[in-house]
Structures are given as C-alpha cells and as structure tokens.
Chain A
Amino acid sequence: MDLASSWTHTGAVLTFHRWVTVIGALLLTSVGVFALCLQFGATSVGLGTVARAIMHLVRGGEAETTSLETSEMIMIQIRLPRVLLGFLVGSSLAAVGVTLQALLRNPLADPYVLGVSSGSAVGVSMAMLIGIGSAFMLLPVLPLFGFAGGLLALLLIYRLAQSQGRLPIHSLLLAGVILNAILTAFIMFITSIMEPNRSAGLMAWLMGSLTAPGYPALSVFVLYALLVLAMLMHKAQSLNMLTLGEETAQSLGVETEGIKKQLFALTALLTGAIVSVSGMIGFVGMVVPHAVRLLIGSDHRLLLPASALVGGMFLAVADTIARTIMAPAEIPVGIVTALTGGPFFLYLLLWRKDRMV
C-alpha cells in the first residue's frame, strides 16, 4: 500500500510531527491530571502528607504516629491503585469504543453493545447470589467469575454471528444486542430473587465502582489491559480501512474477515476484563471517541491513542469527583460521567456546528 496516501486518506493530514505533538501534549496533561487526582480524596491526606512521611523516614525518625501510617495506607493502598484503575478502565473503555464504532460502522456503538459486558455481569451476579464473596484465599473471586462469564458470552456471540467462516457485521451487532437483552433479563431475575440487602449490594456493584483490588490482582489487570491496548493500536490502520467499507478495504488489500475477527476478540476480551473489575461505567466508551474525533479528526492511528488518554483522564477525574463531592460518602461514578460528559459533548457539537457554518 502506498504509504503517502495512507497518511492522508481521512482528509486531515496526519504527519508524524502532528502525532508526536498531540500524543505528547496529552501524555503531559495525563501526568498532571494523575497527580491532581491523587491530591484529592475523602480525607485531607494529600501529596504533601506523603512527602512529609517520606522526609520523615529519610531523616530516620521513629515512625511516631499511627496517623502517619494511616496516611500512607490511604495514599498507597487506596488512592493510588484507585486512580490507576480509573485511568486504565477509562482508557480501555474509550479505546474499545473507538474500535467498535469503526468495526461496526455505527456511531452509537459502545463497549457494552456486544453483550460481552452482560456476560461478565451475569458471572458476577451469580457469584454474589451464591454468596461467595469478593475474595477467596486472596484471589479476587468477583473479577474471575465476571471474566469467565464474559468469555462464555464472547464464544456464544461468535458462534451465533458467524456463518460459513465469515463474520457479518449486522449479525454480530444483532446477536450482541439480543444476547444483551437476554442476559440483562437474567440479571434482573437474579436481583429479584435476592434478599433486598444483597441485591442492593449487587446493584451498587453493577452501577460501576472503581474499588481497586489488591496490588497483585491490579497488576494482572494492568498488564492485561496494556497488552490488549497495544494490540488494538497495532490494528489502527486496518480500522481506517474498515471505516471505508468492507469492499473498499478488501480492494485496498486488507484481509477483512481476519481483521474483523481479531478486533472482535480483542475488544470482547478487554470489555470482559473491564466489567469484571469495575462494573458497568457508561458514557466513557461512547462519548470520548466522538469528542476526540471532533477535535482531532478520524485517523485511527491518532484517534485511538488520543481517545485512550482522554478517556483515562476523563474517568480518573470523574471518579475523583464521585469520591469527594459527597464525602465521606461516595456516589456511583457513572452518574458523574454522564452528567459531566453529556453536556460537554453537546457543547462540542454546537461549537463545531458554528465553526462549520
């Protein structure tokens, strides 16, 4: 394929220079946002407290107070993993959203459209119904159940959608939507037969909560998500081709069936993992890709990483708001993502319309 044309085919010229500038700027902002999110929480513990604790240790003083230990625990065991998880979940949701919108050529696609998320949710609901708890011998049981449920849903959708070795987009979408409906009904069934206190716990979990598991489980998720994200990035150029339509992509030399199957598997695997660790956090996966596309154009080599970074920042900030605004109580992060992201997106839409006139 002609390299020059591939850089320019979406209209907006994507030069290497532009890529580095945009991604570099977003990376820098991300670091700032990350620090900011670490600074705020339900307690007054901030980065300063931690700095003092470190200074204290360096000076070799006796670890005098429990409050110092508590601050350290709050920062290291609660806030840091939570911000990290929020960032990564946000990135993954946005990246999956970008991919599915291109793959399904549907602007309404989001990570939950394919039914894999409901599979994960059913797995978690079952675990809660039998009262197994969220941890067993230090293994995070809920995520494991969730992931298993997601995998089963993935296989089911794939079997339903494929015909004669091909994976038609419309059957994929339909199979996903219908399976979603069936599994959602199943979750409702589970909540309706549960004791009300327990079903309230399940609902709270399903509404999305970024309570990080311990570091061992968290690092597994981080490595897993980064790996899948990298593989998605690798397919960015194929996504560009797919948005032109399957025939065009094929005529440009893209082996569309293989690519489609790979992309479906990658997004499904990532979605299953996301839902398993954080429940269903709406809005990030659908709106962030659109917002970023409005601002920087639709070349997926830039759009995908940029959306991932913006999605990560967005969810980390939304979660910071969710855990501080009603402190000491928390509110479900999905409320914040919808209430802040929605109006902002509408604003972008209007702003863009004005500029085009």
Chain B
Amino acid sequence: MHVSNAVAPTVRRNALGRSSRFRRRVSLFIGLLLLGGEGVLASPFGDSDVTRRQQGILTGMPFMAHVSARAYVDDTGRRMYFAKPPARIVSLAPSITEMLFAIEAGEQLIGVTDFCDYPPEALKKSKVGYANPNLESLLALRPDLVVTPNDFLKPDVIAKLEQLKIPVFILADKNVESIFAHIQTLGRIVGRSTKADAVAIELRREVTAIQQRVQGLPPVRMLYVLNSQPLITVGPGSFIDQLIGMAGGVNVAAKSATPYPRLSMETVLQEDPEVLVFPVGKAEGISESEQQSWRRWSTLTAVRQGRLRQISADQLNRPGPRIAQGLESLAGILHPDDPSENRIEQ
C-alpha cells in the first residue's frame, strides 16, 4: 500500500480478479510468441495487438528469445516492450522511487513526486506533483517510462500519457508479496535484475524472519489510527492490515467490510485494543496533541497501560524496500519483551 491510497475511497484491489490475472498470463504468452522485432516502446493500447501479431508472425519469431526478455505486463494487464532499458524514468509514488534507488537505478530516475523524500538523493530530482501531477513539467522531462501506482492517480492522467505515447507502467499495491515482485519486475525493466533479485530476496528473508519470530507469541490487539477525527483506520484488504497480522497483532477493525473504514468509537471501546499505534511523519501522521487526546478513553487497556506508540508513517505506509523496517518496528511495538536476539538493525 502506498502512502496515499491509504484512504482513497474507491473500489480498487478487486479490479484484479482471477480472470484478469489469467488473461494477463495468456496475453503475456501471446506477447512472447508474437512479438514484433522492431518493438520499441510499443503502444500500450490493446487494439494494436492485431497488427503487432501479424508483424510478429512475419518478422518476430527468430528474435523471440531476444525480445521476450524485454516484454512486460503491468498489474492492470497491459503489455509493454522495451528494446533497451529506459533511461529517463518518472516515478509517481514514494514507494516506487525508493524501489528504484534500492536497485541502484537512481541514475535512470529523472522525475519524482513532491512526497519522495527517501533516500535523500530523491530530493534532488525534478518534482512533478502527486495525485494530480503536472503534465507539462512531466512532459518537459521527456520521460521514456512513467511508473505509477493505480490507486489514487486520476484515470485521465494515465489516458493522457498514453495518448502522448509515453509508456505508463502500473504497479498495484496489493500485498506484501507484490512488493517483492515489483522490485524484481522493475529490476528487469531497468536492466538491474541481479541487484533487484538480491534486494527482493534479502527483503523477503527479513520479513520471513520477523514473522517466524512472532509466530509463537500471543497475538496483541491493536488499533492503527490513520486519521483521528473522524477516526479512520485500516481494515481487511488493506496492506497495513496484512502487516499487522504478520507482526503478531490483531487488528481491532478486522470485522469492518472496507479496507479503510471510518471505525465507530464504540467498537474501539468494545474491542479494547491493547496498543494504539499512531503513524508520524513529516507530511502525514497524527500530531502529538491529537495522540494525547486519546487518553480520555480511560477504559481502554492501551490507555491504562500507557501503550500509545508511534511508528514512522513512511516506513509502514509505503509498500517499498523499507517495509521490513516498518514491520520490525511494528513487531517491536507489539512484542516489546520478545527476547529474541536476532533483530534486524535499522
């Protein structure tokens, strides 16, 4: 999950049902088989497939092995072909920026969002806005690839970019597993697959280690306060809800039907969280005074035991390479007495 999608009130993750995943696989197969030899940055429109297929049949087959390595399908099932690794990439999410830097593709990154602040080098890149990016400054950067999440970006931005023949690669933040996949996909696109594989494997190892450590421990009830007034939290289907489970916690909003519900305060009192977790950060998060105002709910176990905890919003909310650190902090908050020695240094 992305910083921003945390509360974007739309139908989102369901867009990728089983059928579309199947279709994606089929189309990948077809794409690999019938790819055109000249295929430089092919148009992502599905309609052009017909011509492409014919070209592929005529010219592509002998080069299949060569070209197929450069064919990619994004999370919305759109095909894309790169003759050579893109050198002018614009990232439209802090998490994507972090991934690109993690796989040492920072050089190829030329534009980022206003909220891309990690690593510090990201601050030096050109800014293009965020949920509603400035198309002119984006175009002025002459990008050969725009990588974007699909959750909060206005649909017309993607349509416009496609119209201008700028390839848009969409990464849907579904779950922790998709982070590993995204890192590897990006690695292959930018020509850093060895590094990307290493990053993804290491990240997976760290996440698994944390999971194993908390596995036997008694689960701890917690509430993640995304917004305090009115209360907005994370529910099933959200990325952070999954992290809570992985860190050995029980989300008190588990019964809500939406990923980012406005949870009723009555339910909070009844479910009685043992820990209140507040995200804090520069651009988002809950202010100190706001956190203190939670102390008036004196019957809560969390308040009685004084377990009001803060967590870096950037680490936990961004589905990027720092997710292990976020998970580690969360596990530490939930299980402070965990005697295990092998914690990951942050």
Q: Are B3 and A204 in contact (CB under 8 A)?
A: no
Q: Are A78 and B265 in contact (CB under 8 A)?
A: yes
User: Could you mark each residue 42-69 of chain A with 1 if its beta carbon is under 8 Å from any beta carbon of chain B, else 0?
Assistant: 1101000000000000000000001001
Q: A134-B229, A329-B257 are in contact. Are A196 and B130 (CB under 8 A)?
A: yes
Separation of A158 and B263 alpha carbons in the complex (Å): 40
How many positions in chain B have a CB within 8 Å of any CB in the partner chain? 52
Which among B226, B228, B264, B296 has the greatest number of chain A C-beta atoms within 10 A?
Answer: B264
Residue B131, interface by CB 8 Å: yes
Output the least CB separation between B64 and chain A (Å). Answer: 42
Q: A70-B269, A192-B132, A328-B255 are in contact. Are A135 and B293 (CB under 8 A)?
A: yes
B269 CB contacts on chain A under 8 angstroms: 43, 70, 73-74, 78
30 chain-A/chain-B pairs, Cβ below 8 angstroms: A42-B264, A43-B264, A70-B272, A73-B269, A73-B297, A79-B266, A132-B289, A134-B229, A142-B229, A195-B115, A196-B4, A196-B5, A196-B8, A196-B130, A197-B6, A197-B227, A197-B313, A200-B7, A201-B226, A201-B229, A204-B262, A214-B296, A323-B264, A326-B258, A328-B255, A328-B263, A329-B235, A329-B258, A329-B261, A332-B262
* Inter-chain contact total with CB atoms closer than 8 Å: 145
B298 CB contacts on chain A under 8 angstroms: 73
How many positions in chain A have a CB within 8 Å of any CB in the partner chain? 42
Q: A66-B299, A137-B289 are in contact. Are A328 and B253 (CB under 8 A)?
A: yes
Q: Are B266 and A200 in contact (CB under 8 A)?
A: no
User: Could you mark each residue 323-341 of chain A with 1 if its beta carbon is under 8 Å from any beta carbon of chain B, else 0?
Assistant: 1001111111000000000
User: Could you mark each residue 236-265 of chain B with 1 if its beta carbon is under 8 Å from any beta carbon of chain A, else 0?
Assistant: 000000000000000001011110111111
- Interface members, chain B 269-309 (any A CB < 8 Å): 269-270, 272, 283-290, 292-293, 296-299
Output the least CB separation between B106 and chain A (Å). Answer: 23
A41 CB contacts on chain B under 8 angstroms: 264, 266
- Within 8 Å by CB of B261, from A77, A133, A141, A328, lies A328
Separation of A323 and B231 alpha carbons in the complex (Å): 12
A134 CB contacts on chain B under 8 angstroms: 228-229, 290, 293
Given A134-B229, A195-B283; 17 other pairs, CB 8 A cutoff = A43-B266, A66-B272, A74-B270, A192-B132, A195-B4, A195-B115, A196-B5, A197-B6, A201-B227, A205-B229, A209-B262, A211-B231, A323-B266, A326-B261, A327-B267, A328-B253, A329-B263
Output the least CB separation between A124 and chain B (Å). Answer: 10
User: Who on chain A is nearest to B260 by CB?
Assistant: A200
User: Who on chain A is nearest to B283 by CB?
Assistant: A195
Residue B185, interface by CB 8 Å: no
Q: A45-B270, A70-B272, A329-B258 are in contact. Are A201 and B7 (CB under 8 A)?
A: yes
- Interface members, chain A 218-254 (any B CB < 8 Å): none
Q: Are B227 and A211 in contact (CB under 8 A)?
A: no
B289 CB contacts on chain A under 8 angstroms: 132-133, 135-137, 141
- Interface members, chain B 127-158 (any A CB < 8 Å): 130-132, 152
Q: Are B270 and A70 in contact (CB under 8 A)?
A: yes
Residue A165, interface by CB 8 Å: no
Output the least CB separation between B292 and chain A (Å). Answer: 7
User: Could you mark each residue 1-13 of chain B with 1 if its beta carbon is under 8 Å from any beta carbon of chain A, else 0?
Assistant: 0011111110000
